[in-house]
Structures are given as structure tokens and as C-alpha cells.
């Protein structure tokens, strides 16, 4: 049976993700004690009902989380089940804002402030974050974008059995994406922001792309960078990874990083790789 474990920080969008998978035909259960995971999966199997799989939502609310989660995972994998662990995260600032907006109490907030509760939660979830098959940073997601991302991971490109590369452009001004396996800084490249006619455009526009890509230092960087990826991707595959998330950043995430992501994606696709691009901050400038 296909088992998807949804876990992560409180306020990071786990409930939204679970509802999206429920709509896709998964049986979802929230806050089940981890020592009962195997028994629950066995019951679903014996029921004879047809589901796409089971979604188990667990987080800091589970009292036996830190003491029992590792053994529970080993038990399920030992029984031959296919397991994916999706860890949802967001920046502390975003989590604090979400709790303020919803006026909900943080599960770890008893005799401390929300920021302190978030710190405690990060410590308790460290093992799960480290052992997740996928990290999902929801800091900049709308509800619809989060649902689309989850469905893409479960049913889309990553369900094809091929190695998938996700390229994200971003602005350092707005913070580094939390779910990146690799972060590349391209702020050393000449900046179209200082060209008046290019400033309102983005790296998706021909003028900006030409300005960035025609520079000798850009060509040298892309040659080195694509050679590095040609070395890394087979190494990731050998370790059993199915994806690589690369975040490429400039100051505002509008010009250089966007152009470099698009060009890197083109070159990787020419080599037969499945590549997905997203531009987190290009509309903010």
C-alpha cells in the first residue's frame, strides 16, 4: 500500500495538503498515535475498500511522536509498504503571522510565547525533517498553489519513475527557500535593474534574457554550473533520490535569477531530464 506521511510545523499547511490528497482518493487520518500506524494500515488493507493510498498526518500533537516514530516507520517499510514522508515548513515570521491571523493556539504553547513554541517544535521535529523524502516550503504559497504542489508531487512529474529537477528563482531580499537541496547565488552577474528600460521587465522577457545571457561571465558560470549538475544528478540517483531542488537567487528575484533558471532548465531538458521551473518572487519587484 502507498503510504504518505504528512508532517511538519504547525501552521505550515498540513491540513490543506491532506484535504487535497483526500480529494485525490487517499484515505486520510489526522493525529493517530504513531504506535497505531501499522495496525491502522493493516485494517485498511483487510477492509477490501479501494483507495489510492493512506495519508497519515502526524506532528507535535502526538505524545508518542519522538519515542515511537522511527520504529513505526521501520515497521511499515519492513512490511513492504511504499512510504513517502512530506515535511511542511515555513519561516518563523510566516508561522507567527499565520497564528496571529487565525488566533489559534500553538500546540506547544503552554507557558511560553509563540516564537518560543516554534523553537521547541523545530527541535522535536528535527529527526522527521532530516528523514523526510521531501521538504515543502509553504512560506510564499497560496492555498491553491500548495494544493497544486502536493498533487504534482504525488501524481505528477515525481510519480513517473524518472529523476526530476525543480529550479526555483528567488530574491535574497525575501529569504532563501527552505526546501532547496542546493542554493546558487548569481548576484555577481551584471544587474539589469540599473538599465532603465529593463527595470520594469523580468527574466522572462527577451530584453532581460539577452542582457544577462550575453555576458561572458554568465556563459562561463553556466558552463561550470551545468558540469557540476552533470556530476551531481547521477550521484543523487545512486543514493536513491528521485528529485533535486535547486534555488537560484539574485537580489530581488526578478531579473538575473529568472533568466538563469530558464536557461539552465533549457540545457537540462536538452539532456533528457524532466525539469520544472517556478519563479517565487519575480512579481514582487
For the chain, the structural domain boundaries read 2-155, 164-279
Sheet holding 164-171, edge to edge: 182-185, 243-250, 164-171, 274-279
Look up the pTM and report it: 0.72
CATH architecture under which domain 2-155 falls: 3-Layer(aba) Sandwich (3.40)
Question: How big is the CA angle at 49 (ends 47 and 51), to the nearest 5 degrees?
Answer: 125
For 49-96, write each residue's pLDDT tens digit: 888 889 999 999 988 888 889 999 999 999 988 889 999 999 999 999
Rounded distance, CA 87 to CA 134, Å?
6
- Candidates 248, 254, 256, 249; CA nearest to 283 is 254
Rounded distance, CA 166 to CA 274, Å?
9
For 262-275, write each residue's pLDDT tens digit: 999 999 999 888 89
Amino acid at each position: 500500500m502507498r503510504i504518505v506521511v504528512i508532517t511538519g510545523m504547525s501552521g505550515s499547511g498540513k491540513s490543506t495538503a491532506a484535504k487535497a490528497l483526500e480529494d485525490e482518493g487517499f484515505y486520510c487520518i489526522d493525529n493517530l498515535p504513531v504506535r497505531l500506524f501499522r495496525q491502522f494500515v493493516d485494517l485498511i488493507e483487510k477492509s477490501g475498500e479501494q483507495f489510492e493510498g493512506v495519508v497519515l498526518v502526524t506532528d507535535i500533537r502526538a505524545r508518542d511522536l519522538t519515542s515511537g516514530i522511527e520504529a513505526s516507520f521501520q515497521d511499515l517499510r519492513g512490511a513492504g509498504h511504499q512510504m513517502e514522508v512530506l515535511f511542511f515548513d515555513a519561516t518563523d515570521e510566516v508561522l507567527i503571522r499565520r497564528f496571529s491571523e487565525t488566533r489559534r493556539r500553538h500546540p506547544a504553547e503552554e507557558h511560553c510565547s509563540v516564537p518560543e513554541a516554534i523553537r521547541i517544535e523545530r527541535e522535536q521535529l528535527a529527526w522527521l525533517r532530516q528523514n523526510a523524502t521531501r521538504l515543502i516550503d509553504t512560506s510564499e504559497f497560496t492555498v491553491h498553489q500548495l494544493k497544486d504542489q502536493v498533487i504534482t508531487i504525488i501524481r505528477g512529474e515525481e510519480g513517473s519513475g524518472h529523476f526530476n529537477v525543480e529550479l526555483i528563482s528567488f530574491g535574497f531580499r525575501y529569504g532563501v527557500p527552505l526546501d532547496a537541496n542546493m542554493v546558487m547565488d548569481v548576484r555577481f552577474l551584471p544587474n539589469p535593474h540599473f538599465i532603465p528600460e529593463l527595470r520594469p521587465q523580468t527574466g522572462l522577457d527577451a530584453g532581460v534574457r539577452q542582457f544577462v545571457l550575453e555576458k561572458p561571465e554568465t556563459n562561463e558560470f553556466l558552463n561550470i554550473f551545468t558540469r557540476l549538475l552533470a556530476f551531481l544528478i547521477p550521484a543523487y540517483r545512486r543514493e536513491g533520490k528521485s528529485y533535486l531542488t535547486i534555488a537560484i537567487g539574485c537580489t530581488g528575484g526578478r531579473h538575473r535569477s529568472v533568466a538563469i533558471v530558464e536557461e539552465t532548465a533549457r540545457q537540462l531538458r536538452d539532456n533528457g531530464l524532466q525539469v520544472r521551473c517556478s519563479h517565487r518572487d519575480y512579481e514582487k519587484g
